[in-house]
Amino acid sequence: MNEYIDSAVAQFRTLLEEQLARTGRMENAAPAKDFTALPVVTIGVIDGDGIGPIISKQSTRVLEALLKDEIAAGSVVLKPIEGLTIENRLAKGEAVPKDVLNEVKTCDVLLKGPTETPKGGTMESANVTLRRELDLYANVRPVSVPEEGIDWIFFRENTEGEYVLGSRGVEIPGKLCMDFKVTTLPGTKRIARAAFQYAKNNGKKSVAIVTKANIMKKTDGRFSEICHEVAAEYPGIEAEDWYIDIMTAKLVDTRVRSRFQVFLLPNLYGDIITDEAAQLQGGVGTAGSANLGDQYAMFEAIHGSAPRMIETGRGDYANPSSLLRAASMLLRHIARTDKAALLDAALDTVPHGGDTAKDFADRLIEDIEYRL
């Protein structure tokens, strides 16, 4: 038994040293890239697994229609990124193979289809790896149900919490297993500042800080403290503390939920509660997601690869709306707000009534070209 304890202690020391080094890199990070002022924008397109290639292909067609003049002029480049498939990742034993990551890093922004994560084993999610390697620290998800007064935006910390070491816990066979949760000062400050700056820029008056600080006192407790320190820099914006369990209930409470505006959460809670919020909007297929960093940004559907649709031969009927909503967020991030507005208008106007992804994209493109 002592040898297992000694091994676990040595492993934990390594994790501490790695996380302290990561903290140092955040503290000494390069100035942020201005995505709105790039003379040439390279958009990497990652198909993913399952229905991913189907919805990615149709989303790319829509982007090509929206950006055809800039693509022709060379100011926008759409670049396919090959190899981020479950088969290639398993064959190479890497969540994101090194050659694929090198290609990803030649891009400014990414439009990414859903990728499958192996169950069990030690291979982590491709998303978790990309968020860490590209330092995509802010996961941003808007949810809107105008008829119910819902206009929410979620800022989920994307590179820490339970996920950063989710595949690197320790185990004493036959006795116990332990995973780890990470909260850093610079990591929390930057996601808090992103949320409060958004609130300031968009006329929002409140930010809900969602934790379980009464139980997870070291990590969530510190997360809440740091968020309030940042909040002090933004007078006029109220910072409210909420526990994750009661917040999940409040989101379905029709008497109060419309009062919420901006949400600020650690990684795991943000992952869970944004799916709940998307369901209120019409399902995870209706919501896009942005993963933002200072040097790169990745935009994706929030649903998974839907292997059952592929297994039952229904893959062509996958709804690309979530990935297209993400494409709209991508366009806004690179200052193509007029093109994003065209895409949003088409998505709001053209229904997806059980058509194939191609048929739906055809009708979207027709609507967009009419508006252009």
Most distant CA atoms of the chain, gap in Å: 72
- The separation between the first and the last C-alpha atoms of the chain, rounded to the nearest angstrom, is 70
Task: Indicate whether 150 and 178 sit together in one domain.
Answer: yes
Parallel, antiparallel, or unpaired: how do β-strands 297-301 and 288-292 relate?
antiparallel
Task: Indicate whether 46 and 66 sit together in one domain.
Answer: yes
Task: Indicate whether 61 and 119 sit together in one domain.
Answer: yes
Tens digits of pLDDT across the chain (372 residues) = 788 898 989 999 999 999 999 999 999 999 999 999 999 999 999 999 999 999 999 999 999 999 999 999 999 999 999 999 999 999 999 999 999 999 999 999 999 999 998 877 778 889 989 998 999 999 999 999 999 999 999 999 999 999 888 878 988 888 999 999 999 999 999 999 999 999 999 999 999 999 999 999 999 999 999 999 999 999 999 999 999 999 999 999 999 999 999 999 999 999 999 999 989 988 877 778 999 999 999 999 888 899 999 999 999 999 999 999 999 999 999 999 999 999 999 999 998 878 899 999 999 999 999 988
Q: CB under 8 Å to 130, separation ≥6 — which residues?
A: 96, 101, 104, 110, 112, 136, 291, 298
Return the pLDDT at 189: 98
**Residue 362 lies in domain:** 31-136+293-372
Task: Indicate whether 260 and 366 sit together in one domain.
Answer: no
Q: Residue 356 falls within a domain, yes or no?
A: yes
Return the pLDDT at 119: 77
Task: Indicate whether 263 and 315 sit together in one domain.
Answer: no
Q: Residue 25 falls within a domain, yes or no?
A: no
Indicate which CATH number applies to the domain containing 97.
Answer: 3.40.718.10
Using alpha carbons only, what angle is made at residue 154 by residues 163 and 132, rounded to the nearest 5 degrees? 30
Task: Indicate whether 280 and 152 sit together in one domain.
Answer: yes
Q: Minimal CA–CA distance to 53: which of 2, 21, 29, 87? A: 87
Q: Residue 316 falls within a domain, yes or no?
A: yes
Task: Indicate whether 181 and 269 sit together in one domain.
Answer: yes
Q: Residue 338 falls within a domain, yes or no?
A: yes
Return the pLDDT at 167: 75
Task: Indicate whether 48 and 144 sit together in one domain.
Answer: no
Q: Residue 198 falls within a domain, yes or no?
A: yes
Q: CB under 8 Å to 311, separation ≥6 — which residues?
A: none
Q: Residue 8 falls within a domain, yes or no?
A: no
Q: Report whether 168 contacts 178 (CB < 8 A).
A: no
Helix, strand, coil share (%) of the chain residues, nearest 5? 50, 20, 35
Return the pLDDT at 288: 84
Q: Residue 340 falls within a domain, yes or no?
A: yes
pTM: 0.89
Task: Indicate whether 41 and 169 sit together in one domain.
Answer: no
How far is it, in rounded angstroms, from Cα 49 to Cα 56?
Answer: 10
Return the pLDDT at 49: 96
Q: CB under 8 Å to 329, separation ≥6 — which residues?
A: 140, 142, 288, 289, 290, 299, 340
Domain boundary residue, one of 238, 272, 287:
287
Q: Residue 44 falls within a domain, yes or no?
A: yes
Domain boundary residue, one of 235, 261, 287:
287
Q: CB under 8 Å to 223, separation ≥6 — which residues?
A: 157, 183, 188, 209, 211, 213, 266
Domain boundary residue, one of 251, 272, 287:
287
In Å, how far are 23, 37, 206 from 57, measured between CA atoms? 38, 27, 39
Residue 106, phi-psi category: left (phi > 0), alpha (psi -120 to 50), beta (remainder): alpha
Number of domains making up the chain: 2
